[in-house]
Amino acid sequence: MAAPRFTLGALACALATLAAHAAAADGAPDLVLLHGKIHTQDATRRVVPALAVRGNTIVATGTDADISALRGPATRTINLAGRTVLPGLIDAHTHPAQGAQDLGKCNLSDAALSSEQILAQAKACYRANPGDPRHWFEVTQVNPSAVSLSLADLDSIAGKRPLLLLGSDGHTTWANSAALAAAHISAASKDPVGGRIERDAAGRPSGTLRDAASDQLQLARPAYGLAHQAAQLGRAFAAMRATGLTSVQDAAVDDATMQIYKRLYDEHRLDMRVRASYTLTDLGAPADAVVAGAIAFRTKWAVDPDFLRADAVKIFADGVIEYPSQTAALLEPYLDASGRPTSNRGPSYFTQDNLNRIVSAADAAGFTVHIHAIGDRAIRSALDAFAYARTQQKTDNRDQIAHLELINPADFPRFKQLGVIANFQLQWAVKESYIVGGTLAYLGPERSKYLYPARSLLDAGAVIAGGSDWNVSTFNAFEAMEHAVTRRAGRGADPLLPEQAIPLQVAVDAYTINAAFALKQEASTGSLDAGKRADFIVLDRDIFSIPAFDLHATRVLATYLDGREVYHASTKRAAGAAR
Ligand SMILES: [Zn+2]
Protein backbone atom coordinates (compact mmCIF):
# COMPACT_ATOMS: atom_id res chain seq x y z
CA MET A 1 0.00 0.00 0.00
CA ALA A 2 1.57 3.28 -1.08
CA ALA A 3 1.69 5.96 1.58
CA PRO A 4 2.38 9.67 1.45
CA ARG A 5 5.64 10.33 3.23
CA PHE A 6 7.34 13.51 4.18
CA THR A 7 10.59 14.05 2.41
CA LEU A 8 12.43 15.58 5.32
CA GLY A 9 15.53 16.14 3.25
CA ALA A 10 13.75 18.18 0.58
CA LEU A 11 11.97 20.22 3.19
CA ALA A 12 15.17 20.78 5.11
CA CYS A 13 16.66 22.35 1.98
CA ALA A 14 13.63 24.57 1.47
CA LEU A 15 13.64 25.72 5.08
CA ALA A 16 17.38 26.27 5.14
CA THR A 17 16.98 28.47 2.07
CA LEU A 18 14.23 30.44 3.77
CA ALA A 19 16.29 30.79 6.93
CA ALA A 20 19.29 31.95 4.95
CA HIS A 21 17.29 34.92 3.69
CA ALA A 22 16.79 36.00 7.26
CA ALA A 23 20.41 35.34 8.19
CA ALA A 24 23.36 37.65 7.82
CA ALA A 25 24.02 38.58 4.19
CA ASP A 26 27.75 37.85 4.45
CA GLY A 27 27.15 34.14 4.99
CA ALA A 28 28.61 34.29 8.49
CA PRO A 29 26.89 32.54 11.40
CA ASP A 30 24.16 34.43 13.23
CA LEU A 31 25.27 32.93 16.50
CA VAL A 32 28.34 31.20 17.87
CA LEU A 33 28.80 29.46 21.20
CA LEU A 34 32.36 29.42 22.55
CA HIS A 35 34.25 28.02 25.56
CA GLY A 36 31.70 25.35 26.43
CA LYS A 37 31.42 21.62 26.98
CA ILE A 38 29.14 20.81 24.09
CA HIS A 39 28.03 17.20 24.15
CA THR A 40 27.21 16.80 20.47
CA GLN A 41 25.69 13.34 20.88
CA ASP A 42 27.03 12.61 17.40
CA ALA A 43 28.06 9.14 16.29
CA THR A 44 31.26 9.24 18.38
CA ARG A 45 29.72 11.27 21.24
CA ARG A 46 32.24 14.04 20.64
CA VAL A 47 32.50 16.86 23.18
CA VAL A 48 33.58 20.16 21.61
CA PRO A 49 33.94 23.71 22.96
CA ALA A 50 32.23 25.61 20.16
CA LEU A 51 29.31 25.61 17.74
CA ALA A 52 27.99 27.95 15.02
CA VAL A 53 24.39 28.54 13.97
CA ARG A 54 23.00 30.19 10.87
CA GLY A 55 19.25 30.61 10.58
CA ASN A 56 17.72 27.48 12.05
CA THR A 57 20.70 25.27 11.29
CA ILE A 58 23.95 24.24 12.95
CA VAL A 59 26.64 25.09 10.42
CA ALA A 60 29.74 23.91 12.29
CA THR A 61 31.04 22.47 15.53
CA GLY A 62 34.67 22.43 16.61
CA THR A 63 37.40 24.26 18.43
CA ASP A 64 37.07 27.80 19.75
CA ALA A 65 39.62 28.95 17.14
CA ASP A 66 37.83 27.31 14.20
CA ILE A 67 34.40 28.59 15.17
CA SER A 68 35.63 32.09 16.12
CA ALA A 69 37.17 32.40 12.67
CA LEU A 70 33.71 32.01 11.07
CA ARG A 71 32.31 35.10 12.76
CA GLY A 72 31.21 38.15 10.79
CA PRO A 73 30.36 41.65 12.00
CA ALA A 74 26.74 40.73 12.75
CA THR A 75 27.47 37.44 14.50
CA ARG A 76 26.30 37.21 18.09
CA THR A 77 28.68 35.41 20.45
CA ILE A 78 27.73 33.57 23.61
CA ASN A 79 30.55 32.79 26.01
CA LEU A 80 29.50 29.57 27.68
CA ALA A 81 32.24 29.94 30.32
CA GLY A 82 32.65 26.21 30.60
CA ARG A 83 28.95 25.40 30.76
CA THR A 84 27.51 22.14 29.45
CA VAL A 85 25.37 22.07 26.30
CA LEU A 86 23.20 19.18 25.14
CA PRO A 87 20.94 18.76 22.15
CA GLY A 88 17.35 19.80 22.89
CA LEU A 89 15.74 16.97 24.81
CA ILE A 90 13.12 14.77 23.17
CA ASP A 91 10.31 13.14 25.14
CA ALA A 92 9.34 9.99 23.26
CA HIS A 93 6.13 9.29 25.18
CA THR A 94 4.04 12.09 26.62
CA HIS A 95 0.54 13.54 26.51
CA PRO A 96 0.98 17.32 26.33
CA ALA A 97 -2.36 18.40 24.84
CA GLN A 98 -4.39 16.22 27.18
CA GLY A 99 -2.21 16.70 30.24
CA ALA A 100 -2.21 20.46 29.81
CA GLN A 101 -5.97 20.56 30.27
CA ASP A 102 -5.49 19.53 33.90
CA LEU A 103 -3.30 22.53 34.74
CA GLY A 104 -5.14 24.62 37.31
CA LYS A 105 -7.54 21.84 38.31
CA CYS A 106 -7.81 20.27 41.76
CA ASN A 107 -4.69 18.11 41.84
CA LEU A 108 -3.90 15.48 44.46
CA SER A 109 -0.31 15.19 43.19
CA ASP A 110 -0.31 11.40 43.00
CA ALA A 111 0.18 11.27 46.78
CA ALA A 112 -0.44 7.86 48.35
CA LEU A 113 -3.64 8.73 50.25
CA SER A 114 -6.35 6.71 51.96
CA SER A 115 -9.91 6.85 50.65
CA GLU A 116 -10.85 9.09 53.59
CA GLN A 117 -8.01 11.51 52.81
CA ILE A 118 -8.98 11.64 49.15
CA LEU A 119 -12.59 12.40 50.05
CA ALA A 120 -11.54 15.13 52.47
CA GLN A 121 -9.14 16.76 50.00
CA ALA A 122 -11.60 16.59 47.10
CA LYS A 123 -14.29 18.23 49.27
CA ALA A 124 -11.86 20.91 50.39
CA CYS A 125 -10.95 21.59 46.76
CA TYR A 126 -14.60 21.85 45.80
CA ARG A 127 -15.31 24.33 48.59
CA ALA A 128 -12.23 26.43 47.80
CA ASN A 129 -12.48 26.51 44.02
CA PRO A 130 -15.56 24.92 42.44
CA GLY A 131 -14.71 26.48 39.06
CA ASP A 132 -17.13 27.12 36.24
CA PRO A 133 -20.45 25.44 37.16
CA ARG A 134 -21.20 24.78 33.47
CA HIS A 135 -18.35 22.27 33.55
CA TRP A 136 -17.90 19.04 35.48
CA PHE A 137 -15.83 19.20 38.64
CA GLU A 138 -12.62 17.26 38.22
CA VAL A 139 -9.99 16.04 40.63
CA THR A 140 -6.76 14.98 38.94
CA GLN A 141 -3.70 12.92 39.84
CA VAL A 142 -5.53 10.64 42.27
CA ASN A 143 -3.18 7.84 43.32
CA PRO A 144 -5.31 4.69 43.00
CA SER A 145 -3.08 2.36 45.08
CA ALA A 146 -5.22 2.29 48.22
CA VAL A 147 -8.52 3.72 47.02
CA SER A 148 -11.88 2.14 47.60
CA LEU A 149 -14.64 4.69 47.04
CA SER A 150 -18.33 3.83 46.96
CA LEU A 151 -20.83 5.65 44.80
CA ALA A 152 -22.21 7.23 48.00
CA ASP A 153 -18.70 8.51 48.82
CA LEU A 154 -18.39 9.98 45.33
CA ASP A 155 -21.83 11.56 45.56
CA SER A 156 -20.84 13.30 48.79
CA ILE A 157 -18.15 15.46 47.14
CA ALA A 158 -19.91 17.77 44.70
CA GLY A 159 -23.57 16.95 45.20
CA LYS A 160 -25.58 16.91 41.98
CA ARG A 161 -22.80 18.41 39.88
CA PRO A 162 -21.14 15.77 37.68
CA LEU A 163 -17.78 14.82 39.20
CA LEU A 164 -14.77 12.87 37.96
CA LEU A 165 -11.75 11.71 39.91
CA LEU A 166 -8.95 10.92 37.49
CA GLY A 167 -6.40 8.31 38.47
CA SER A 168 -2.73 9.22 38.20
CA ASP A 169 -2.19 5.84 36.53
CA GLY A 170 -4.18 7.14 33.55
CA HIS A 171 -6.32 4.02 33.64
CA THR A 172 -8.80 4.54 36.47
CA THR A 173 -11.66 7.04 36.65
CA TRP A 174 -14.22 7.52 39.40
CA ALA A 175 -17.54 9.15 38.57
CA ASN A 176 -20.46 10.24 40.74
CA SER A 177 -24.09 9.43 39.99
CA ALA A 178 -24.62 12.67 38.07
CA ALA A 179 -21.67 11.97 35.76
CA LEU A 180 -22.72 8.33 35.22
CA ALA A 181 -26.24 9.49 34.36
CA ALA A 182 -24.96 12.16 31.97
CA ALA A 183 -22.89 9.49 30.20
CA HIS A 184 -25.78 6.99 30.19
CA ILE A 185 -23.76 4.43 32.13
CA SER A 186 -26.18 2.18 34.01
CA ALA A 187 -26.73 -1.41 35.13
CA ALA A 188 -27.72 -2.14 31.54
CA SER A 189 -24.40 -0.92 30.13
CA LYS A 190 -22.04 -3.59 28.84
CA ASP A 191 -18.30 -3.39 29.42
CA PRO A 192 -16.75 -1.82 26.31
CA VAL A 193 -13.91 -3.46 24.40
CA GLY A 194 -10.76 -2.58 26.32
CA GLY A 195 -12.42 -1.52 29.54
CA ARG A 196 -14.39 -2.50 32.62
CA ILE A 197 -17.27 -0.91 34.53
CA GLU A 198 -16.91 -1.93 38.18
CA ARG A 199 -20.24 -2.94 39.69
CA ASP A 200 -21.85 -3.59 43.06
CA ALA A 201 -23.41 -6.93 44.03
CA ALA A 202 -26.61 -5.99 42.21
CA GLY A 203 -24.75 -5.24 38.97
CA ARG A 204 -25.10 -1.46 39.23
CA PRO A 205 -22.06 0.65 38.29
CA SER A 206 -20.16 1.45 41.49
CA GLY A 207 -18.52 4.57 40.10
CA THR A 208 -15.11 3.05 39.29
CA LEU A 209 -14.26 2.70 35.60
CA ARG A 210 -11.19 1.08 34.09
CA ASP A 211 -9.50 1.99 30.82
CA ALA A 212 -11.89 2.36 27.84
CA ALA A 213 -14.92 2.29 30.16
CA SER A 214 -14.19 5.93 30.94
CA ASP A 215 -14.32 7.00 27.26
CA GLN A 216 -18.08 7.49 27.47
CA LEU A 217 -17.57 9.89 30.38
CA GLN A 218 -15.00 11.89 28.45
CA LEU A 219 -17.45 12.18 25.55
CA ALA A 220 -20.34 13.27 27.77
CA ARG A 221 -18.27 15.90 29.58
CA PRO A 222 -18.83 19.42 28.20
CA ALA A 223 -15.65 20.49 26.47
CA TYR A 224 -13.80 23.73 27.05
CA GLY A 225 -13.39 25.96 24.01
CA LEU A 226 -10.43 25.49 21.69
CA ALA A 227 -8.90 28.85 22.64
CA HIS A 228 -8.85 27.81 26.31
CA GLN A 229 -7.38 24.41 25.47
CA ALA A 230 -4.66 25.91 23.28
CA ALA A 231 -3.76 28.41 26.00
CA GLN A 232 -3.43 25.55 28.48
CA LEU A 233 -1.19 23.67 26.04
CA GLY A 234 0.90 26.80 25.56
CA ARG A 235 1.47 26.93 29.33
CA ALA A 236 2.52 23.30 29.41
CA PHE A 237 4.96 23.69 26.52
CA ALA A 238 6.51 26.78 28.11
CA ALA A 239 7.15 24.73 31.24
CA MET A 240 8.57 21.88 29.16
CA ARG A 241 10.97 24.21 27.32
CA ALA A 242 12.16 25.39 30.72
CA THR A 243 13.31 21.81 31.41
CA GLY A 244 15.03 21.52 28.04
CA LEU A 245 12.44 19.78 25.91
CA THR A 246 12.29 20.81 22.27
CA SER A 247 10.49 17.80 20.73
CA VAL A 248 7.75 15.52 21.95
CA GLN A 249 5.97 12.43 20.78
CA ASP A 250 2.34 12.64 21.82
CA ALA A 251 1.56 9.03 22.63
CA ALA A 252 -2.20 9.10 22.03
CA VAL A 253 -4.02 11.62 19.87
CA ASP A 254 -7.39 11.91 18.23
CA ASP A 255 -8.93 14.63 16.12
CA ALA A 256 -9.77 16.84 19.09
CA THR A 257 -6.16 16.68 20.34
CA MET A 258 -4.77 17.61 16.96
CA GLN A 259 -7.03 20.63 16.78
CA ILE A 260 -5.38 21.96 19.94
CA TYR A 261 -1.90 21.61 18.44
CA LYS A 262 -3.06 23.11 15.16
CA ARG A 263 -4.55 26.09 16.95
CA LEU A 264 -1.19 26.85 18.61
CA TYR A 265 0.57 26.28 15.30
CA ASP A 266 -1.76 28.66 13.48
CA GLU A 267 -1.11 31.26 16.16
CA HIS A 268 2.66 30.79 15.63
CA ARG A 269 2.98 29.68 19.24
CA LEU A 270 3.88 26.02 18.71
CA ASP A 271 7.46 26.28 19.97
CA MET A 272 7.86 22.52 20.20
CA ARG A 273 8.28 19.83 17.58
CA VAL A 274 5.27 17.53 17.87
CA ARG A 275 5.03 14.06 16.43
CA ALA A 276 1.67 12.46 17.19
CA SER A 277 0.58 8.85 17.57
CA TYR A 278 -3.01 8.32 16.50
CA THR A 279 -4.86 5.98 18.83
CA LEU A 280 -6.43 3.00 17.09
CA THR A 281 -9.57 2.45 19.10
CA ASP A 282 -11.40 -0.46 17.50
CA LEU A 283 -8.95 -3.33 17.62
CA GLY A 284 -11.74 -5.77 16.77
CA ALA A 285 -12.38 -4.21 13.36
CA PRO A 286 -10.85 -5.46 10.10
CA ALA A 287 -7.24 -4.31 9.75
CA ASP A 288 -7.80 -2.60 6.41
CA ALA A 289 -10.55 -0.41 7.83
CA VAL A 290 -8.52 0.45 10.93
CA VAL A 291 -5.46 1.43 8.91
CA ALA A 292 -7.47 3.31 6.29
CA GLY A 293 -8.72 5.51 9.13
CA ALA A 294 -5.16 6.10 10.30
CA ILE A 295 -4.02 7.02 6.79
CA ALA A 296 -6.82 9.56 6.43
CA PHE A 297 -5.86 10.98 9.82
CA ARG A 298 -2.18 11.23 8.85
CA THR A 299 -3.07 13.00 5.62
CA LYS A 300 -5.39 15.43 7.37
CA TRP A 301 -2.82 16.34 10.03
CA ALA A 302 0.33 16.51 7.89
CA VAL A 303 0.62 20.14 8.92
CA ASP A 304 4.38 20.66 8.98
CA PRO A 305 6.98 17.89 8.77
CA ASP A 306 9.22 19.79 11.20
CA PHE A 307 6.61 20.80 13.75
CA LEU A 308 3.33 18.93 13.50
CA ARG A 309 2.63 15.53 11.99
CA ALA A 310 0.73 12.36 12.89
CA ASP A 311 2.62 9.52 11.23
CA ALA A 312 2.57 7.09 14.15
CA VAL A 313 -0.24 4.91 15.44
CA LYS A 314 -0.85 3.92 19.03
CA ILE A 315 -2.21 0.63 20.25
CA PHE A 316 -3.09 -0.14 23.86
CA ALA A 317 -2.18 -3.79 24.40
CA ASP A 318 -3.16 -3.76 28.08
CA GLY A 319 -3.78 -1.53 31.09
CA VAL A 320 -1.76 -1.22 34.31
CA ILE A 321 -0.22 -3.77 36.65
CA GLU A 322 -0.87 -2.20 40.05
CA TYR A 323 -3.38 -3.46 42.53
CA PRO A 324 -6.32 -2.93 42.47
CA SER A 325 -6.55 -2.32 38.69
CA GLN A 326 -4.44 -5.29 37.59
CA THR A 327 -5.41 -4.78 33.97
CA ALA A 328 -1.91 -5.49 32.64
CA ALA A 329 -1.79 -8.75 30.69
CA LEU A 330 0.43 -11.34 32.39
CA LEU A 331 1.71 -14.72 31.22
CA GLU A 332 1.04 -16.20 34.68
CA PRO A 333 -1.75 -15.11 37.03
CA TYR A 334 -1.52 -12.27 39.51
CA LEU A 335 -1.00 -13.45 43.08
CA ASP A 336 -3.24 -12.34 45.91
CA ALA A 337 -1.88 -10.23 48.77
CA SER A 338 -0.65 -13.34 50.58
CA GLY A 339 1.14 -14.75 47.55
CA ARG A 340 -1.38 -17.32 46.29
CA PRO A 341 -2.18 -17.43 42.57
CA THR A 342 -5.52 -15.94 41.55
CA SER A 343 -7.37 -16.70 38.33
CA ASN A 344 -6.64 -13.21 36.92
CA ARG A 345 -4.03 -12.86 34.18
CA GLY A 346 -5.38 -9.50 33.08
CA PRO A 347 -7.68 -8.95 30.12
CA SER A 348 -6.94 -9.34 26.43
CA TYR A 349 -8.16 -6.35 24.47
CA PHE A 350 -7.94 -8.07 21.04
CA THR A 351 -7.18 -11.41 19.40
CA GLN A 352 -3.55 -12.04 18.48
CA ASP A 353 -4.58 -12.67 14.91
CA ASN A 354 -6.22 -9.29 14.55
CA LEU A 355 -3.36 -7.52 16.30
CA ASN A 356 -0.96 -9.15 13.83
CA ARG A 357 -2.99 -7.94 10.88
CA ILE A 358 -3.41 -4.41 12.21
CA VAL A 359 0.28 -4.02 13.12
CA SER A 360 1.39 -5.43 9.79
CA ALA A 361 -1.00 -3.27 7.77
CA ALA A 362 0.04 -0.14 9.69
CA ASP A 363 3.70 -1.04 9.17
CA ALA A 364 3.13 -1.60 5.46
CA ALA A 365 1.51 1.85 5.29
CA GLY A 366 4.65 3.45 6.72
CA PHE A 367 3.45 4.17 10.26
CA THR A 368 5.57 3.87 13.36
CA VAL A 369 3.58 1.46 15.48
CA HIS A 370 3.73 2.52 19.14
CA ILE A 371 2.30 -0.10 21.49
CA HIS A 372 1.47 0.45 25.15
CA ALA A 373 2.42 -2.81 26.85
CA ILE A 374 3.01 -3.19 30.60
CA GLY A 375 2.65 -6.88 31.41
CA ASP A 376 4.84 -9.70 30.10
CA ARG A 377 1.97 -11.20 28.09
CA ALA A 378 1.10 -7.90 26.42
CA ILE A 379 4.77 -7.31 25.60
CA ARG A 380 5.14 -10.78 24.14
CA SER A 381 1.96 -10.32 22.15
CA ALA A 382 3.24 -6.99 20.78
CA LEU A 383 6.57 -8.59 19.83
CA ASP A 384 4.71 -11.48 18.19
CA ALA A 385 2.73 -8.94 16.13
CA PHE A 386 5.94 -7.19 15.05
CA ALA A 387 7.44 -10.59 14.20
CA TYR A 388 4.43 -11.30 12.02
CA ALA A 389 4.76 -7.91 10.30
CA ARG A 390 8.44 -8.63 9.55
CA THR A 391 7.37 -11.78 7.67
CA GLN A 392 5.08 -9.65 5.49
CA GLN A 393 7.39 -6.77 4.52
CA LYS A 394 10.74 -5.14 5.26
CA THR A 395 10.37 -1.61 6.59
CA ASP A 396 12.20 0.90 8.80
CA ASN A 397 9.39 2.39 10.81
CA ARG A 398 10.92 2.64 14.29
CA ASP A 399 8.24 0.49 15.89
CA GLN A 400 8.25 0.76 19.64
CA ILE A 401 6.81 -0.68 22.81
CA ALA A 402 6.26 1.78 25.63
CA HIS A 403 6.27 1.27 29.42
CA LEU A 404 7.75 -2.26 29.53
CA GLU A 405 7.15 -2.79 33.22
CA LEU A 406 7.49 -6.58 33.29
CA ILE A 407 9.33 -8.38 30.51
CA ASN A 408 9.89 -12.11 30.36
CA PRO A 409 13.66 -12.67 29.94
CA ALA A 410 13.04 -14.89 26.90
CA ASP A 411 11.84 -11.75 25.13
CA PHE A 412 14.89 -9.56 25.87
CA PRO A 413 16.74 -10.43 22.61
CA ARG A 414 13.65 -9.97 20.46
CA PHE A 415 13.77 -6.16 20.63
CA LYS A 416 17.02 -6.08 18.70
CA GLN A 417 16.08 -8.98 16.44
CA LEU A 418 12.83 -7.31 15.43
CA GLY A 419 14.08 -3.72 15.39
CA VAL A 420 11.67 -2.71 18.15
CA ILE A 421 12.63 0.34 20.23
CA ALA A 422 12.29 0.05 24.01
CA ASN A 423 10.41 3.21 24.95
CA PHE A 424 10.97 3.34 28.73
CA GLN A 425 9.57 5.61 31.44
CA LEU A 426 12.39 5.09 33.91
CA GLN A 427 11.06 7.75 36.28
CA TRP A 428 8.99 4.82 37.52
CA ALA A 429 11.90 2.42 38.08
CA VAL A 430 12.16 3.12 41.80
CA LYS A 431 10.58 1.73 44.95
CA GLU A 432 7.59 4.04 45.21
CA SER A 433 4.05 3.25 46.35
CA TYR A 434 2.91 1.69 43.06
CA ILE A 435 5.74 -0.80 43.18
CA VAL A 436 5.96 -1.46 46.91
CA GLY A 437 2.26 -1.47 47.73
CA GLY A 438 0.69 -2.44 44.44
CA THR A 439 3.06 -4.65 42.49
CA LEU A 440 5.79 -6.68 44.25
CA ALA A 441 3.53 -8.90 46.37
CA TYR A 442 1.12 -9.50 43.49
CA LEU A 443 3.87 -10.66 41.14
CA GLY A 444 5.99 -12.55 43.66
CA PRO A 445 9.79 -12.50 43.98
CA GLU A 446 10.68 -14.41 40.79
CA ARG A 447 8.85 -12.15 38.33
CA SER A 448 9.72 -9.03 40.34
CA LYS A 449 13.35 -9.46 39.20
CA TYR A 450 12.32 -8.22 35.76
CA LEU A 451 10.65 -4.88 36.51
CA TYR A 452 11.71 -2.14 34.09
CA PRO A 453 14.72 -4.24 33.01
CA ALA A 454 16.54 -1.45 31.19
CA ARG A 455 20.06 -2.83 31.65
CA SER A 456 19.03 -6.27 30.41
CA LEU A 457 17.54 -4.76 27.26
CA LEU A 458 20.60 -2.59 26.75
CA ASP A 459 22.84 -5.65 27.07
CA ALA A 460 20.58 -7.46 24.61
CA GLY A 461 21.23 -4.71 22.07
CA ALA A 462 17.90 -2.88 22.21
CA VAL A 463 17.67 0.80 21.32
CA ILE A 464 16.35 2.61 24.41
CA ALA A 465 14.29 5.79 24.05
CA GLY A 466 13.06 7.82 27.02
CA GLY A 467 9.66 9.26 27.76
CA SER A 468 7.85 10.80 30.69
CA ASP A 469 4.21 9.79 30.16
CA TRP A 470 3.32 13.27 31.48
CA ASN A 471 0.98 14.02 33.10
CA VAL A 472 1.19 10.64 34.75
CA SER A 473 4.70 11.73 35.84
CA THR A 474 6.91 14.79 35.72
CA PHE A 475 8.20 15.77 32.29
CA ASN A 476 11.54 16.75 33.78
CA ALA A 477 13.90 14.37 31.96
CA PHE A 478 16.71 14.98 34.44
CA GLU A 479 14.62 13.43 37.21
CA ALA A 480 13.96 10.39 35.03
CA MET A 481 17.67 10.17 34.19
CA GLU A 482 18.48 10.17 37.91
CA HIS A 483 16.10 7.28 38.50
CA ALA A 484 17.40 5.41 35.45
CA VAL A 485 20.95 5.70 36.73
CA THR A 486 20.33 5.16 40.47
CA ARG A 487 17.10 3.09 40.51
CA ARG A 488 16.36 5.02 43.72
CA ALA A 489 13.77 7.69 44.53
CA GLY A 490 16.54 9.77 46.12
CA ARG A 491 19.67 9.65 48.24
CA GLY A 492 19.45 6.91 50.84
CA ALA A 493 16.29 5.35 49.37
CA ASP A 494 16.00 1.62 48.87
CA PRO A 495 16.85 0.71 45.25
CA LEU A 496 14.62 -1.17 42.83
CA LEU A 497 16.80 -3.80 41.13
CA PRO A 498 20.04 -1.76 41.12
CA GLU A 499 21.53 -4.24 38.64
CA GLN A 500 19.10 -2.78 36.08
CA ALA A 501 20.63 0.72 36.31
CA ILE A 502 21.91 2.16 33.05
CA PRO A 503 24.89 4.50 32.56
CA LEU A 504 24.12 8.22 32.36
CA GLN A 505 25.38 8.37 28.77
CA VAL A 506 22.74 5.79 27.82
CA ALA A 507 20.05 7.81 29.62
CA VAL A 508 21.12 10.96 27.75
CA ASP A 509 21.07 9.01 24.47
CA ALA A 510 17.53 7.91 25.34
CA TYR A 511 16.36 11.55 25.48
CA THR A 512 18.36 12.79 22.50
CA ILE A 513 19.60 10.78 19.54
CA ASN A 514 17.63 7.61 20.31
CA ALA A 515 14.40 9.52 20.89
CA ALA A 516 15.01 11.40 17.63
CA PHE A 517 15.38 8.00 15.95
CA ALA A 518 12.11 6.83 17.53
CA LEU A 519 10.37 9.96 16.19
CA LYS A 520 11.93 9.43 12.74
CA GLN A 521 13.61 12.83 12.96
CA GLU A 522 17.23 11.89 13.62
CA ALA A 523 18.16 13.45 10.26
CA SER A 524 17.33 16.87 11.70
CA THR A 525 17.51 16.60 15.52
CA GLY A 526 18.88 14.53 18.39
CA SER A 527 22.53 15.48 17.98
CA LEU A 528 24.50 18.64 17.31
CA ASP A 529 25.90 17.91 13.87
CA ALA A 530 26.46 20.44 11.10
CA GLY A 531 23.35 20.47 8.93
CA LYS A 532 20.91 19.62 11.70
CA ARG A 533 18.46 22.05 13.27
CA ALA A 534 19.82 24.25 16.02
CA ASP A 535 17.91 22.70 18.95
CA PHE A 536 20.15 22.84 22.01
CA ILE A 537 20.11 23.61 25.72
CA VAL A 538 22.56 25.21 28.13
CA LEU A 539 22.75 23.66 31.60
CA ASP A 540 23.77 25.10 34.97
CA ARG A 541 25.99 22.10 35.71
CA ASP A 542 27.98 19.38 34.01
CA ILE A 543 25.66 16.43 34.48
CA PHE A 544 28.49 14.04 33.62
CA SER A 545 30.62 15.09 36.60
CA ILE A 546 28.12 15.49 39.44
CA PRO A 547 26.77 12.88 41.89
CA ALA A 548 23.89 11.06 40.20
CA PHE A 549 21.56 12.01 43.07
CA ASP A 550 21.89 15.68 42.06
CA LEU A 551 20.71 15.13 38.48
CA HIS A 552 17.08 16.00 39.31
CA ALA A 553 18.16 19.49 40.40
CA THR A 554 19.73 20.29 37.01
CA ARG A 555 18.51 23.67 35.77
CA VAL A 556 18.25 24.65 32.15
CA LEU A 557 19.59 28.17 31.61
CA ALA A 558 18.52 28.53 27.99
CA THR A 559 16.66 26.50 25.39
CA TYR A 560 17.10 27.04 21.66
CA LEU A 561 14.69 25.66 19.11
CA ASP A 562 15.31 26.03 15.38
CA GLY A 563 18.03 28.57 16.18
CA ARG A 564 15.74 30.73 18.31
CA GLU A 565 15.98 31.18 22.05
CA VAL A 566 12.63 29.92 23.33
CA TYR A 567 13.48 29.90 27.02
CA HIS A 568 15.90 31.84 29.13
CA ALA A 569 16.14 31.16 32.86
CA SER A 570 16.10 34.80 33.92
CA THR A 571 12.91 35.63 32.03
CA LYS A 572 10.77 33.33 34.22
CA ARG A 573 8.59 32.85 31.14
CA ALA A 574 7.82 29.30 32.11
CA ALA A 575 6.28 30.15 35.46
CA GLY A 576 2.96 28.68 36.38
CA ALA A 577 2.79 25.23 34.89
CA ALA A 578 2.79 22.34 37.27
CA ARG A 579 5.05 19.32 37.62
ZN1 LIG B 1 1.05 7.24 27.91
Please check whether residue 92 is in contact with residue 249, taking contact to mean a CB–CB distance below 8 angstroms. yes
3-class DSSP assignment, residue 436: helix
Residue 577 included in any domain = no
Same domain assignment for residues 431 and 315: yes
How far is it, in rounded angstroms, from Cα 157 to Cα 122? 7
Sheet holding 195-199, edge to edge: 106-107, 137-142, 163-167, 172-175, 205-211, 195-199
Residue 189 included in any domain = yes
Give the pLDDT band of residue 24 (cuts 50, 70, 90).
low
Same domain assignment for residues 174 and 234: no
Phi (first) and psi of residue 370, to 5 degrees:
-115, 110
Same domain assignment for residues 214 and 244: no
- 160: CATH: 3.10.310.70
CA 95–ligand 1 middle distance (angstroms): 6
Mean pLDDT of 215-228: 93
Instruction: Look at residue 132 in the predicted model and tell me its pLDDT.
Output: 86
CA 92–ligand 1 middle distance (angstroms): 10
Instruction: Tell me which H or E stretch contains 241.
Output: helix 226-241
Instruction: Look at residue 171 in the predicted model and tell me its pLDDT.
Output: 85
Mean pLDDT of 354-380: 98
What share of the chain in percent tops pLDDT 90? 85
Whether pTM exceeds 0.75 = yes
Q: How many residues are present in the chain?
A: 579
CA 541–ligand 1 middle distance (angstroms): 30
The string of DSSP codes covering 345-359 is: ----SS-HHHHHHHH
Identify residue 33 by its one-letter amino acid code.
L
Greater pLDDT, 475 or 437: 475
* DSSP letter assigned to residue 392: H
Q: Per-residue pLDDT tens for 268-277?
A: 999 999 999 9
Q: Per-residue pLDDT tens for 290-309?
A: 999 999 999 999 999 999 99
CA 400–ligand 1 middle distance (angstroms): 13
- Distance spanning both ends of the chain, measured CA to CA: 43
Phi (first) and psi of residue 558, to 5 degrees:
-155, 145
How far is it, in rounded angstroms, from Cα 25 to Cα 396? 40
Instruction: Look at residue 25 in the predicted model and tell me its pLDDT.
Output: 65
CA 364–ligand 1 middle distance (angstroms): 24
CA 317–ligand 1 middle distance (angstroms): 12
CA 468–ligand 1 middle distance (angstroms): 8
Q: Per-residue pLDDT tens for 26-83?
A: 789 999 999 999 999 999 999 999 999 999 999 999 999 999 999 999 999 999 999 9
Residue 570 included in any domain = no
Q: Is 410 exposed, middle or buried (0-12, 13-18, 19+ CB in 10 A)?
A: exposed
How far is it, in rounded angstroms, from Cα 102 to Cα 100? 5
pLDDT at 185 over 60: yes
CA 170–ligand 1 middle distance (angstroms): 8
Answer left, alpha or beta for residue 200, where phi above 0 means left and psi between -120 and 50 means alpha.
Answer: beta
CA 319–ligand 1 middle distance (angstroms): 10
Same domain assignment for residues 191 and 291: no
Q: Using the Cα atoms of residue 491, residue 496, residue 501 and residue 505 in order, give the sign of their dihedral.
A: negative
How far is it, in rounded angstroms, from Cα 551 to Cα 537? 15
**Domains held by the chain: number:** 3
Of 30, 33, 53, nearest in space to 538 by CA: 33
Q: Which of 220, 249, 277 delimits the end of a domain?
A: 220
Residue 574 included in any domain = no
Q: Per-residue pLDDT tens for 69-91?
A: 999 999 999 999 999 999 999 99
pLDDT at 15 over 60: no
pLDDT at 168 over 70: yes
How far is it, in rounded angstroms, from Cα 525 to Cα 398? 15
CA 351–ligand 1 middle distance (angstroms): 22
Instruction: Look at residue 194 in the predicted model and tell me its pLDDT.
Output: 87
Domain of 64, in residue numbers: 8-82
